[in-house]
A and B are shown apart, each in its own frame.
Chain A
Amino acid sequence: MTFKKIMGAIGPPLIFGAIFLGIWELIVVVFDIKPFLLPAPTAIWSEFLERSDDIIEATLVTGTNALIGLIFGVVFGVAMSFVLMRFQVANELVTPLAVALNAIPIIVLVPVFNNMFSSTTEVPRQLMVTLIVFFIVMVNVAKGLRQVSPVHMELLRSYAASPREVLVKARIPNAVPYLFTALTIAAPAAVITAFVAEYFGGRQNGLGYSITSNAAASRNAASWAYVIGACTLGLIFYLVAVGLEKVLSPSQHSTKQQSGGLAPGGASA
């Protein structure tokens, strides 16, 4: 039953993916497309197998950067969201800034960080990831802490609840689903940031560096092989974030159901 369900969900995209790769291979072979233009999937796969040790190593480097940045970003983001909730002034100062930052590609700060810190360390990259994650988490969690339903606030007021009790009984539990929503956005963003940051120089060990250097040397198939590593890494981060949300914050899915999934009538008891 569950196996059937899982296959029902992932079967069609898998089949589509296989057909897509088949057509890709066919086009490369039939039209005799040169490898420096577009390598065939089989060529990429054989490069992937040949370089698997290197690819895993590069993935670990980039993955570690993303993970460290993600953890620090979440910790600082959550901490800051409490400050924003508590102090209206801070909220008015920081929130417009955070919104503005969404429109600016702050990733271009990496060269600056490379100069500020030694570019022979991973610090500039981890700092970049931290910064990206920080704003995503801060904005979302602050929203959850503030936007408690008016009925809940009125009820707690009728119970003469103290501000601390309102925080513990309503604000924090209300913010939990927002935190997990932020995580599912921040986790893939952390991976993207970690390996794009490598495009801007620094140590020559991660996925991003390997993709650009192989591409520059016209080793296209090798470059694509590292792309497989990047895809896998992004997918792992996203799936772990979604899994955490499912296990730790089941109420979020149910809130969505609340509007539609009610049993009819109330007279049954």
Chain B
Amino acid sequence: MTTRGVSHPVASDAVVVDRVSMTFNEGKSNEVRALCDLELVIRPADFVSLIGPSGCGKSTLLRLIASLISPTSGSLLVNGKSASQARVEQDYGMAFQQSGLFEWRTVQKNIELPLELKGWGKSKRHQRSTEMLELVQLSDFASNMPWELSGGMQQRVAIARSLAAHPPLLLMDEPFGALDEMTREHMQAELLRICAASETTVVFVTHSIPEAVYLSNRVVVMSPRPGRITEIIDVNLGSDRDEDTREEATFYGKITEVREALRGAEAADGPRGIEDR
């Protein structure tokens, strides 16, 4: 088992987090130490989940990788570039708990938005968005407006949008958090299928232990205040995961392992915000 990050990052790594700390409102009375001295290396085509109690800074880490915020100290590399450079070059796609579709655009036009901002021509955009619609199996809804779709379908459109430019990295912040259990399991299987087909690296923030175990090659367990990585658990359920996997002993074994790691991580603080489902 690997603990902490890999000590020898190479240029081809998808994400390198090097001694990153994040403090909000530094020097003021409401100062919050969100992350402390984080190290993490993510290889290409890896699927890594970040799990931990509320307030452990997992979303903050994701936003740092996305360069939506800048670290107080330390450095981040995405595809061998600085995180901000990677953002400018649109090296990653992002999906949130809310689908965040633009309600005045059709489903297809929503998927084309990142391509428009990259300056792609109309026919090239149309071709790619049509492919993406096929990938998430929503071709019949290309000209529908977002509100005409169910929550799960909207989330699939959001995933198609985040993958439209074929970014090498996908950053997801509890994308299935607002979905019901059945839809959620279906979406997890869809995501694995899509990522396997496109060889995308994924960093996935979640509250759910089974979700993290089912999806990931590695589960990063974090502790709160200030957020630290306490353990990295290798899962590797194999690439042929299906619905039966959820009933296997190894699956349950890994769930127990992650749960115990979480208990250890929050022993001082008491468990909060973790779903056992």
Please list the residues of chain A having a beta carbon within 8 angstroms of any beta carbon in chain B: 149, 151-152, 154-161, 165, 169-170, 173-174, 176, 251, 254-255, 257-258, 261-269
> Which residues of chain B from 94 to 129 have a CB within 8 Å of any chain A CB?
94, 96, 98, 100, 102-104, 113-114, 116-118
Chain A residues whose C-beta falls within 8 Å of the C-beta of B180 in the assembled complex: 265
Q: Which of B24-32, B148-156, B208-216, B268-276 contacts A (4 or more CB under 8 A)?
A: B148-156
Q: Which of B1-9, B84-92, B193-201, B247-255 contacts A (4 or more CB under 8 A)?
A: B84-92
Mask of B177-205 contacts with A, CB within 8 angstroms, 1/0: 00110110011000000000000000000
CB <8 Å contact, A262 and B117 = no
Interface flag for B66 (CB, 8 Å)? yes
* A266–B145 touching, CB < 8 Å: no
Alpha-carbon distance between A266 and B146 when the two chains are bound, in angstroms: 13
How close is A268's CB to chain B, nearest CB, in angstroms?
A: 7
Question: Are A264 and B150 within 8 A (Cβ)?
Answer: yes
The 3 closest A-B CB pairs, nearest first, are A266-B152, A151-B100, A266-B183
Main secondary structure of the interface of A (DSSP, over half): helix
19 contacts between A and B (CB under 8 A): A156-B117, A157-B68, A160-B88, A165-B117, A169-B113, A169-B117, A173-B102, A254-B103, A257-B147, A258-B103, A265-B180, A266-B151, A266-B152, A266-B154, A266-B179, A266-B186, A267-B152, A269-B138, A269-B156
Q: Which residues of A contact B116 (CB under 8 A)?
A: 169
For B, the interface residue count at a CB cutoff of 8 angstroms equals 39
Expressed in whole angstroms, the Cα–Cα distance for A75 and B121 within the complex equals 34
Q: Could you tell me the distance between the alpha carbons of A155 and B96 in the complex, rounded to whole angstroms?
A: 9
* A151 and B102 contact, Cβ closer than 8 Å, known pairs A158-B87, A255-B147: no
| Minimum CB–CB distance for B193 against chain A, Å | 13
CA distance A262 to B145 in the complex (A): 12
**Distance between A200 CB and nearest chain B CB, rounded to angstroms:** 43
Beta-carbon nearest neighbor of A253 in chain B: B147
* Residue B137 at the chain A interface, CB threshold 8 Å: yes
Residue of A nearest to B85 (CB): A160
**Pair B68/A262 contact, Cβ less than 8 Å:** no
Q: Closest CB of chain A to B133's CB: distance in Å?
A: 11
Are A267 and B186 within 8 A (Cβ)? yes
CB distance from B95 to the nearest CB of A (A): 9
Contact A154/B150 with A254-B145, A265-B182 known, Cβ cut-off 8 Å: no
Q: How far apart sit A188 and B16, CA to CA, in the bound complex (Å)?
A: 61
A235 to B64, CA, bound (A): 55
* Chain B residues near A261 (CB-CB < 8 A): 147
Q: Are B68 and A251 in contact (CB under 8 A)?
A: no
